[in-house]
Amino acid sequence: MNIIFFGPPGAGKGTQSGIIQAEHGVAHLSTGDMLRAAVAAGTDVGRTAKALMDEGKLVPDDIIIKIVADRIETPDCAAGFILDGFPRTLPQAQALDHMLADKGRKLDAVLQLRVPDEILIGRIEKRVRESGRARADDKPETLKRRLGVYHEQTAPVLPYYEQAGLLHVIDGNRPIDDVTAAIRAALV
Ligand code: AMP
């Protein structure tokens, strides 16, 4: 099973990916987590990515496409994978199609978690208050930039998957269990 979780920051992609990953025994590939690991490790990619991430901007397509291409070659992806935070641009979506076609694999579903912006802002403010430690990109002005980037650069990828008949729109503005139930229903 190869699926994509699609949605703005704070929509619940990471939470739902973890639940579905455990149920299906597939790999969970979060490009945000991979980039944060590269930043922590101080690699060249991490150095390039850090400033962009802190400002809420996207990391260049060629960098992120290479990271994903390498990652899906690893053995734990053989049974399938959940992409969380990738693709975020049309060139990334097209590159993913090429990668999969080269391996004779395909996507099974794209799950769009839809949550209104004002709810997302409230959720992330709550996460910051409750955890007591904010990520640099959780600052209010950065979060607004990330939402703007989502609407301008990432949401336009949705018609690509709609045309391919892969898109499932899930109302993400509900209790977590209800969202999970809707995702399970979309995956049968
Ligand atoms: P996330 O944790 O998925 O919200 O990602 C955190 C940050 O990493 C984003 O705001 C971007 O700066 C960067 N990033 C993650 N995934 C991608 C991607 N597919 N394309 C470009 N930048 C990305």
135 is catalytic: yes
pLDDT of residue 123: 83
Report the SS3 class of residue 103. coil
**Given CA atoms 34, 37, 43, 47 in this order, what sign does their dihedral have?**
positive
How far does the centroid of ligand 1 lie from the alpha carbon of residue 162, in Å? 22
Number of separate helices (H) and strands (E) present in the chain: 9, 5
Instruction: Share the mean pLDDT of the chain.
Output: 94
Judged by average pLDDT, the poorest of 12-21, 40-49, 132-141 is: 132-141
What pLDDT is recorded for position 56?
Answer: 94
Q: Which of 105, 127, 145, 174 is catalytic?
A: 127
Number of C-beta neighbours around residue 163 at 10 A:
9
Report which protein residue has its CA nearest ligand 1's atom 2. 32
Q: Please tell me the distance from the alpha carbon of residue 69 to that of residue 99, in angstroms, as a whole number.
A: 7
Report the share of the chain in percent with pLDDT over 90. Answer: 86
End-to-end alpha-carbon separation of the chain, Å? 11
Locate 64 and state its tokens: 């992120």
pLDDT digits (tens, 9 = 90+) for 46-82: 999 999 999 999 999 999 999 999 999 999 999 999 9
- Given this model, what pLDDT does residue 70 score? 95
Give residue 130's pLDDT: 84
- pLDDT computed for residue 126 by the predictor: 83
pLDDT exceeds cutoff 70 at 133: no
Q: Within 13 Å and on the Cβ side, how many CA atoms surround 142?
A: 16
Q: Residues with Cβ within 6 A of ligand 1?
A: 9, 31-32, 35, 52-53, 56-59, 64, 85-86, 88, 92, 137, 146
Give all strands of the β-sheet with 2-6 in edge-to-edge order: 27-30, 81-84, 2-6, 109-114, 167-171
pTM value?
Answer: 0.94
Are 140 and 10 in contact, with CB atoms under 8 Å apart?
A: no
- CA of 127 from ligand 1 middle (Å) equals 18
Residue range 78-130, pLDDT digits in tens: 999 999 999 999 999 999 999 999 999 999 999 999 999 999 988 878 877 88
Assess whether 174 carries a catalytic annotation.
no
127 catalytic per annotation: yes
Across the range 3-21, mean pLDDT stands at 96
C-alpha 36 to ligand 1 mean position (Å)? 9
What six digits make up the tokens of 12? 């619940």
* Of residues 96, 94, 49, the one with CA closest to residue 72: 96
Nearest to 176 by CA among 23, 18, 16, 24: 16
